[in-house]
Amino acid sequence: MLSCFVGRPTGVTFMSNSYVLPVVDISKLSSPCLEDRLKVAHALDQACKEVGFLYLKGEQFKVELFEKLHETAQQYFAKSESDKMQNYIGLSQNHSGYVPIGEEQFIENSYDLKEAYDINYDYQSSENRRPLLGPTQWPNDHTFKKHVLNYYQHIKEIGQQVFQGFALAFELDEYYFTPHIANAPSQLRLIHYPYHPDITDKAGIGAHTDYECFTLLFPTATGLQVLDKTGKWIDIPLIEGTLVMNIGDMMEILSNGRYLATKHRVKKVSEERYSFPFFFSCDYDYIIQPLIKDEAPKYSALRGGEHLFNQTAQTFNYLKEKLKKGEIKLENAQPLHSFGLNAHQESI
């Protein structure tokens, strides 16, 4: 059993290096009582407004699916590099597959010591294909696909409830987002940080904001850090029975700056580590624009899928090569690190 995902006492905050991290219980987002759902929406709103990095706990979490995902990832990443490269992400139609160490770079000539397997929304229709919308590339392993899909669907349902909470917080119809996330290119990443006994750089690299609306993360070890509003890097400890949540670029726009995308990184540590973030986006053609009533927009509108692809293409080597060769073009691309805290607060 995973020691990082078992029961824990009820709480509302957790201290990390004298920094208060909110804990929001989302159990009652599925309550038939609107008042219960509004209370959760208010707590979610406050946590995202004040911090933007928080923990979620809920009765809806199915622990056995988390455990199976972890076991599945351990078995997959134990395979040889040649076996894993048969499903290299550069061979996929929707940016899915194996990501070798060094493939993803947020800073030129610098990368995190990690490998991953990326699972995008498995869009089977031949109509309305997009760079991130198409059939997922799966390894030839029925057990892998079964357990990963079970987790994908479970966490997606939790995220749909969180979207409803945000709609209530924005004083919109509770199901405002529902028609706009039907075919969203939301991604699950299975990330493995191998054991490196001689590692010396403890600071960490690859600091970034997430491009989507929000992220729900299931980690198995420490190492995650977030940049607080004073410009200080804060360690994010594990809290049993919770998911870590953070705000992304798109939700910063949707909230008209009420929430800021939270910059984060993973420290280089010698310990082997697994991490399973799920990045929630809206449908590819949904226009991301401020939704807060009676406020002048502080952000220009952008097409959600276009922004997601543009940012992805600036960090993955196989897409950078396609850009150099003229095989793909980026339209309306914004530089990396265009959201979140000001640049002078973002130095590593």
First CA to last CA distance, the chain: 36
pLDDT for position 335: 77
pLDDT for position 131: 87
Distance CA 222, CA 204 (A): 13
Strand 302-303 with 13-16, pairing: unpaired
Distance CA 297, CA 313 (A): 28
Separation in Å, CA 338 to CA 28, 258, 259, 262, 307? 35, 16, 14, 12, 11
Nearest to 106 by CA among 261, 276, 327, 317: 317
Q: Span 13-90+103-113+145-345: which CATH code?
A: 2.60.120.330
Whole-structure pTM value: 0.89
Nearest to 249 by CA among 333, 155, 193: 333
Distance CA 280, CA 166 (A): 13
Tens-digit pLDDT string for the chain (348 aa): 333 443 333 334 544 444 568 999 999 999 999 999 999 999 999 999 998 899 999 999 999 999 999 999 999 999 999 999 999 999 999 999 999 998 988 666 556 688 999 999 999 999 989 889 999 999 999 999 999 999 999 999 999 999 999 999 999 999 999 999 999 999 999 999 987 776 655 555 567 889 999 999 998 888 888 888 778 888 888 898 999 999 999 999 999 999 999 988 887 766 788 999 999 999 999 999 999 999 999 999 999 999 999 999 989 999 999 999 999 988 888 877 778 765 334 433
pLDDT for position 334: 81
Domain boundaries, the chain: 13-90+103-113+145-345
DSSP secondary structure letters along 327-343: SS--SSPPPTT-SSS-G
Chain centroid to Cα 24, Å, comes to: 18
Query: Interhelix angle for 304-313 vs 317-325, to 10°?
Result: 90
- Identify each DSSP E strand in the chain by its residue range: 13-16, 19-25, 53-57, 97-99, 115-119, 187-193, 205-208, 214-219, 224-227, 233-235, 243-247, 264-266, 273-280, 287-288, 302-303
pLDDT for position 7: 35
- The length of the chain is 348
Contact 276, 190 (CB under 8 A): yes
Distance CA 14, CA 18 (A): 9
pLDDT for position 108: 63
pLDDT for position 107: 64
